[in-house]
Amino acid sequence: MDGGSHESDVLSLFRERGQLSRTDVIALSGLSRTTVNHRLSTLTASGLLVPVEGGESTGGRPSSRFDFSARRAVILCADIGATGFTVAACDLSGAPLADAERTIDVWSGPEAVLSLVLEAFRAIDTGDEVWGIAVGVPGPVEFAAHRVVNPPIMTGWDRFDIAAWFAPHYDAPVLVENDANARAVAEARVHRLDNVIALKLGTGIGAGLVFNGQIIRGDKGAAGDIGHTRATIVDSEPRECRCGSFDCVEAYAGGWAIERELREVGIPAAGARDIVELVRNGDIETVRRVRAAGRVVGDAIADLVSILNPRVIALSGMLAECDENLMSGIRERVYQRATPLVTRDLTIARSTLGEHAGVIGLAYIVSDEVLRPSSLDRILARTTVRV
Ligand SMILES: [Zn+2]
């Protein structure tokens, strides 16, 4: 049985639970003392585990308590939105060590945007080894291929090879993920939740679904794209969506659509940030539209909530800063339509992680990837110094 185990199994125990003694590892893993000793010494030699001072160890015996050394390396994460991105160097437990934000226009295409991301990565260099790169994008991602596919808003990004673009700059795996998925992972892992829906409400609208602790990607990775599902309440005049279809949820509740409506009544708004500002200043027209947008989003997710039964719906993205004005509409519709048992312990709230949710989630996803058996073997082969 010991033969089927791997260093990554032992490492997972520390990543989930924090400090453990040698005896704890034997009890939790069911492995023999000899195997546990071997695993612990390999992981300690690689720097992924560190002996803890003041543990049970006495009188010159080797330390018998260890901890996961999340600072062993960093993951560079870029959470790209339609009008800006956040980059962060995160440790292997997802904690951001250094971060920066930039304003961009995602329509300027992948090369222009990724050049700015690279520049920002260099500006936040912590001097640590880089074990992975993660790029979150506001569009559908074919996860296995690490590519954005047919993004409704990201002109020029369709099937662009993001990993190949980074290859000359970093000798590390590159992962591409949908931004809302990354946010859902962050909520689940930071708050230790198994069942979460993350709603990103910005220029566009997206949802990330984590259930039973796993991202629900669907067959190709496109699950959760609620922005282009059909809105329940529609005007008599069909509203054109930027994806080319009509009456999508986004065409009523996306930042760009609210902006379009405000312009039609003579209120100049350029971007989600302006909408938030108008709401904060109590502009009645804007408040009315944001509340209506909340109801459209609430309708769009109510059935999803009944089907999947999340514990938490976490809102992020620029429009989430409209707080209650947006949230009341979402709550109203979800509580009205979803079944009582489903809504009994349901929390619908703004993410406590703020705009770091994306980069934190990306760091978790990449850490899982680089610390799984096959990739960990490569790291151990490279870093373990045998004596
Ligand atoms: Zn659409």
Q: How confident is the model at residue 153 (pLDDT cuts 50, 70, 90)?
A: confident
Rounded to the nearest 5°, which phi and psi values hold at 305? Answer: -65, -45
**pLDDT score, position 221:** 86
**207 C-alpha to ligand 1 centroid (Å):** 14
**pLDDT score, position 236:** 80
**pLDDT score, position 359:** 98
**Residue extents of the structural domains in the chain:** 2-68, 73-183+357-370, 192-351
**248 C-alpha to ligand 1 centroid (Å):** 5
**10 C-alpha to ligand 1 centroid (Å):** 46
**pLDDT score, position 387:** 41
**154 C-alpha to ligand 1 centroid (Å):** 13
The DSSP annotation for 119-138 comes to HHHHHT--SSPEEEEEEEES
User: Which residues are found with C-beta within 5 Å of the ion, ligand 1?
Assistant: 228, 241, 243, 245, 248
> How much of the chain exceeds pLDDT 90, in percent?
79
pLDDT higher than 70, residue 386: no
**pLDDT score, position 107:** 86
The model's pLDDT over 279-312, given as tens digits with 9 standing for 90+, comes to 999 999 999 999 999 999 999 999 999 999 999 9
Provide the CATH topology of domain 192-351.
Nucleotidyltransferase; domain 5 (3.30.420)
CA atoms within 13 A on the CB side of 192: 3
**pLDDT score, position 381:** 85
Three state DSSP letters for 200-259: EECCCEEEEEEECCEECCCCCCCCCCHHHCECCCCCCCCCECCCCCECECHHHHCHHHHH
pLDDT higher than 50, residue 38: yes
The model's pLDDT over 299-353, given as tens digits with 9 standing for 90+, comes to 999 999 999 999 999 999 999 999 899 999 999 999 999 989 999 999 999 999 9
Residues 6+ away with beta carbon under 8 Å from 235: none
Residues 6+ away with beta carbon under 8 Å from 351: 183, 186, 187, 198, 314, 315, 316, 320, 357
Whether the CB-CB separation of 206 and 316 falls below 8 Å is answered with no
**pLDDT score, position 253:** 96
Provide the CATH topology of domain 73-183+357-370.
Nucleotidyltransferase; domain 5 (3.30.420)
**348 C-alpha to ligand 1 centroid (Å):** 24
Residues 6+ away with beta carbon under 8 Å from 353: 183, 186, 187, 190, 314, 316, 360
Q: How confident is the model at residue 60 (pLDDT cuts 50, 70, 90)?
A: low
What letter represents residue 74's amino acid?
A: V
The two domains 2-68 and 192-351 share their CATH topology (first three levels equal): no
**244 C-alpha to ligand 1 centroid (Å):** 6
Question: Considering all CA atoms of the chain, what is the largest pairwise distance in Å, rounded to the nearest integer?
Answer: 82
**241 C-alpha to ligand 1 centroid (Å):** 5
Burial letters for 291-312: b for 16+ Cβ neighbours within 10 Å, e otherwise? Answer: bbbbbbbbbbbbebbeeebbbb
Poorest-pLDDT segment among 18-22, 153-157, 181-185: 153-157
CA 248, 194, 12, 86 dihedral sign is positive
**65 C-alpha to ligand 1 centroid (Å):** 54
Q: How confident is the model at residue 1 (pLDDT cuts 50, 70, 90)?
A: very low
CATH number of the domain at 2-68, please?
Answer: 1.10.10.10
**pLDDT score, position 325:** 93
**182 C-alpha to ligand 1 centroid (Å):** 22
**Run of H or E including 97:** strand 96-103
Average of per-residue pLDDT across 106-130: 95
Q: What is the CA radius of gyration of the chain?
A: 23
The DSSP annotation for 141-180 comes to EEGGGTEE-S-SS-TT-TT--HHHHHTTT-SS-EEEEEHH
Q: How confident is the model at residue 137 (pLDDT cuts 50, 70, 90)?
A: very high
**195 C-alpha to ligand 1 centroid (Å):** 27
**240 C-alpha to ligand 1 centroid (Å):** 8
Q: How confident is the model at residue 156 (pLDDT cuts 50, 70, 90)?
A: confident
pLDDT higher than 80, residue 190: yes
The model's pLDDT over 240-253, given as tens digits with 9 standing for 90+, comes to 999 899 999 999 99
**239 C-alpha to ligand 1 centroid (Å):** 10
Task: Look up residue 337 and give its two tokens.
Answer: 């339509």
**pLDDT score, position 150:** 81
DSSP 383: H
**250 C-alpha to ligand 1 centroid (Å):** 6
